[in-house]
Amino acid sequence: MNVNCVSCGHSLDLRDAYDDYEGQVRCFICGSLLKLRSADGHVKSVELAAVARQALAAARDEAHAAKQTIS
Protein backbone atom coordinates (compact mmCIF):
# COMPACT_ATOMS: atom_id res chain seq x y z
CA MET A 1 0.00 0.00 0.00
CA ASN A 2 1.36 3.42 -0.96
CA VAL A 3 0.50 6.67 0.79
CA ASN A 4 1.60 10.14 -0.26
CA CYS A 5 2.87 12.42 2.49
CA VAL A 6 0.49 15.37 2.67
CA SER A 7 3.36 17.63 3.68
CA CYS A 8 6.06 16.92 1.06
CA GLY A 9 4.27 14.61 -1.42
CA HIS A 10 6.74 11.74 -1.09
CA SER A 11 5.24 8.30 -1.77
CA LEU A 12 5.58 5.99 1.25
CA ASP A 13 5.50 2.25 0.55
CA LEU A 14 3.92 0.77 3.67
CA ARG A 15 3.64 -2.80 2.38
CA ASP A 16 1.08 -5.16 3.91
CA ALA A 17 1.84 -4.27 7.52
CA TYR A 18 -0.56 -1.32 7.37
CA ASP A 19 -3.46 -2.96 5.48
CA ASP A 20 -5.79 -2.60 8.48
CA TYR A 21 -4.37 0.24 10.52
CA GLU A 22 -5.38 3.35 12.40
CA GLY A 23 -2.59 5.41 13.87
CA GLN A 24 0.42 7.51 13.08
CA VAL A 25 3.10 7.12 10.44
CA ARG A 26 6.17 9.33 10.08
CA CYS A 27 7.42 10.43 6.67
CA PHE A 28 11.10 9.54 6.57
CA ILE A 29 11.80 12.33 4.04
CA CYS A 30 10.39 15.44 5.76
CA GLY A 31 9.67 14.03 9.22
CA SER A 32 6.00 14.97 9.25
CA LEU A 33 3.70 12.85 11.35
CA LEU A 34 0.65 11.57 9.46
CA LYS A 35 -2.60 10.20 10.85
CA LEU A 36 -3.44 7.17 8.72
CA ARG A 37 -6.58 5.07 8.57
CA SER A 38 -6.70 2.07 6.25
CA ALA A 39 -8.89 -0.99 5.82
CA ASP A 40 -8.56 -4.03 3.58
CA GLY A 41 -5.39 -2.63 2.00
CA HIS A 42 -6.98 0.68 0.99
CA VAL A 43 -6.31 4.13 2.42
CA LYS A 44 -9.45 5.54 4.00
CA SER A 45 -7.90 8.79 5.22
CA VAL A 46 -4.52 10.43 5.69
CA GLU A 47 -3.97 13.82 7.26
CA LEU A 48 -1.17 15.81 8.79
CA ALA A 49 -0.87 15.07 12.51
CA ALA A 50 2.26 17.11 13.20
CA VAL A 51 5.17 18.66 11.40
CA ALA A 52 8.66 17.64 12.39
CA ARG A 53 10.26 19.80 15.03
CA GLN A 54 13.18 20.48 12.70
CA ALA A 55 10.87 21.88 10.03
CA LEU A 56 9.13 24.12 12.55
CA ALA A 57 12.45 25.34 13.93
CA ALA A 58 13.75 26.06 10.42
CA ALA A 59 10.62 28.03 9.53
CA ARG A 60 10.86 29.99 12.78
CA ASP A 61 14.56 30.76 12.13
CA GLU A 62 13.80 31.92 8.57
CA ALA A 63 11.04 34.21 9.80
CA HIS A 64 13.32 35.62 12.49
CA ALA A 65 16.12 36.23 9.96
CA ALA A 66 13.72 37.93 7.54
CA LYS A 67 12.41 40.16 10.33
CA GLN A 68 15.96 41.22 11.25
CA THR A 69 16.75 41.99 7.59
CA ILE A 70 13.76 44.33 7.34
CA SER A 71 14.58 46.18 10.56
* pLDDT 10s digits, 10-31: 999 998 889 999 999 999 898 8
Angle (nearest 5°) at CA 22 between 21 and 26 = 95
- Looking at the predicted structure, is the pLDDT value of residue 45 above 90? yes
Residue 52 has pLDDT above 60, yes or no: no
Residue 49 binned pLDDT confidence (cut-offs 50, 70, 90): confident
Dihedrals phi, psi of 7, to nearest 5 degrees:
-95, -50
Q: Are 30 and 41 in contact (CB under 8 A)?
A: no
Mean pLDDT of the chain: 85
How many domains would you assign to the chain? 1
Rounded to two decimals, the pTM is 0.65
